[in-house]
Structure 1
Amino acid sequence: MVTTGTNATARYQDIYLWKPGYTAPENLTHWADFDSQNPRINNLGEVVWNAVDVNANPQIYLAHADDMRNYRDLSQNTVGDDYSSPDLNDNGQVVWMHHNGSNWNIEMWSQSTGVVALTDNTGNAASTFPAINNLGWVAYEQSILFRKYDVHLFANGQVIPLTDNTDPTRSFRIALNDRGELVWVTREDIGGVRYWSVILAQPVPEPATGAVLLGGLGLLMLLKRKRSEM
C-alpha cells in the first residue's frame, strides 16, 4: 500500500509504503525536494505518482518501490502544463490526465510506444481521472463544462460511451478489473432529493461465441441511497 504524508522537516508531501512485516510506513521520497501526490502501485512493486519539480512543472514519475531514487520522468514537461492522477497496470502501461492549457485529455505511456494521446478534446470537453486494467482498457470521466459527467471506456483502440447522462446527473469515481467489469458512482437530483447509486457494468457475452460485446453492457444497481440536498 502506498499513500502520501507531509515531511515535517521540509514540509514536502512524500510517498509512504507499508507492507506486511513493517512496524511503520517507509518514506520513499524523503530525499526529494518536491511535493509528491496521487501514488499508485502495481503487483510488481512499481510506483507511479505526480509531483511538481524544482522548476514548478508538474510531472509524472515512475520507479520501483525498492529504488525510488532511480525514477523516470514520463511526462518530460517543460512548458508548465498540468499532469495529474496517474494509474498503472502490471504490463508497463501508465495513464494520466494532461491539461495542455485548453483541455484535459487522457494520455498513455509504455516503454514501446512512449506517450500516446487517447483523447483529443476541443471546446468545453474534458477527459479526467483515468483507471487502467491489465487488459490495457482505460476508463475515465468525460464531461462537458465540468457538468455533464459520463463514463467512457477506451478498449481495443475504440472509445465507448457507457453512460449518456443529462445534467445534473453525474457519473464518476470509476474503477475496473481484469474481467472487464467497471464500477462507478452516479448522482441524480430528482425532485429536490439527491440520489447516490453504485453501478456495476458487466460485458454481455455474444450467444454464439461468448466473446465480450463492448457495444452492450448490462447495468446492475448494487446500492442506492438518498440524501436530502443541502
Structure 2
Amino acid sequence: MSYAYGITNSGLVIGAGIDPSNAAVNVGLIYDTVSGSMTSLGALPGLNGAIAFGVSDSGYVVGASMFNQGSGLPFIWSASGGMTAIPLPDGTTAGSARDVNDSGWAVGVASNAYAIPFLYADGTTYSIDTLLTNGAGWDLVTNTSSSALGIANDGSIIGTAIHDGAVHAYKMTLVTAVPEPGTWALLASGLGLLALRRRRPTQH
C-alpha cells in the first residue's frame, strides 16, 4: 500500500498501491492490521484500477475506479457484495466517492464543467443542492470548488461550497428523527447553509 486514506476502529486501513506489473494502474486496497492480510478491491467493469478513499466501521468502502489512472467513476464495496458502481448525478461524466457511513450512505464529488457534490443512499444518487431549499448566497453546482467529503452515522455531511463568491466549509445536518431518504430535512449551518425539506428530494 502506497497511500492510506482511512481507518476503522477495528484496524482496517484503506487506500491504494501501484500494480507492480503496470505502473499506470492503481490498486485499491484494504489492509487488516490485526491479521496482517491485504485485500484488493478490484475494478469496475471495463476499468482496471481503483483508489479507496473512505471506509465505515460496518465494512463499507468507497472510492473511485478508473482506467490507467484516468478519470474515475465512484464505487461502493462490501465483503458480501464486492464492488458496485455508484450512479453519477445527471449531466456528469466522472467522479469519486469520498466517505461512507455505517448504513452505506456515501458522499462524493462528480464533475462535468463544474464540481457537483452528491449523496448516495439506498441505491439512489442525489445532487446535494437538490436537498436544500433556502441556501441563499450559496453555490454548490456552478463552480469547481464544491465538494462533499464526509458523512457521519447521523447523516451529517461536510464539504466545501461557494458563499457570496468565496470558498467556505459547510456542515449539513439531517434534522428528521429517522434518517431515511424520502423524509430528508437538512440543515446546513454556520459553516454552511440553512435549509429545510420534508419531502423526497429531486432524484438524479
Within 5 Å, which residues of 2 pair with 1:7-18? none
CA distance 1:222–1:126, shift in 2 (3 Å)? same
CA RMSD after TM alignment: 3.0
Identity between Structure 1 and Structure 2 (%): 18
Matched residues in 2 for 1:99 and 1:219: separation?
A: 32
1:127-179 deviations in Å (ceiling 9; x for gaps): 2242111121100012113xx11221111221121126343363125111111
- Aligned residue among 197, 208, 225 for 2:168: 197
Instruction: Confirm or deny: 8 A CA contact 2:11 2:32 kept in the other structure.
Output: yes
| Structure with the higher fraction of residues in strand conformation | 1
Deviation at 1:74, TM superposition (A): 1.6
In structure 1, the residue matched to 2:21 is: 55
In structure 2, the residue matched to 1:130 is: 98
Instruction: Confirm or deny: 8 A CA contact 1:61 1:74 kept in the other structure.
Output: yes
- Aligned residue among 10, 19, 38 for 2:4: 38
One-letter amino acid matched to 2:153: D
SS at structure 2 position matched to 1:212: coil
Moved over 6 A (4+): none
CA distance 1:126–1:216, shift in 2 (3 Å)? farther
> Greater relative contact order (Cα 8 A, min sep 6): structure 1 or 2?
2
CA distance 1:76–1:67, shift in 2 (3 Å)? farther
Instruction: Confirm or deny: 8 A CA contact 2:6 2:15 kept in the other structure.
Output: yes
Instruction: Confirm or deny: 8 A CA contact 2:43 2:50 kept in the other structure.
Output: no
In structure 1, the residue matched to 2:178 is: 211
In structure 1, the residue matched to 2:162 is: 187
CA distance 1:75–1:212, shift in 2 (3 Å)? same
TM-score (norm 1): 0.66
TM-score (norm 2): 0.74
Instruction: Confirm or deny: 8 A CA contact 2:3 2:16 kept in the other structure.
Output: yes
Gaps of 5+ in 2: 131-139, 193-204
In structure 1, the residue matched to 2:123 is: 157
Matched residues in 2 for 1:103 and 1:167: separation?
A: 20
Gaps of 5+ in 1: 1-34, 224-230
Paired residues, what number? 179
In structure 2, the residue matched to 1:9 is: none
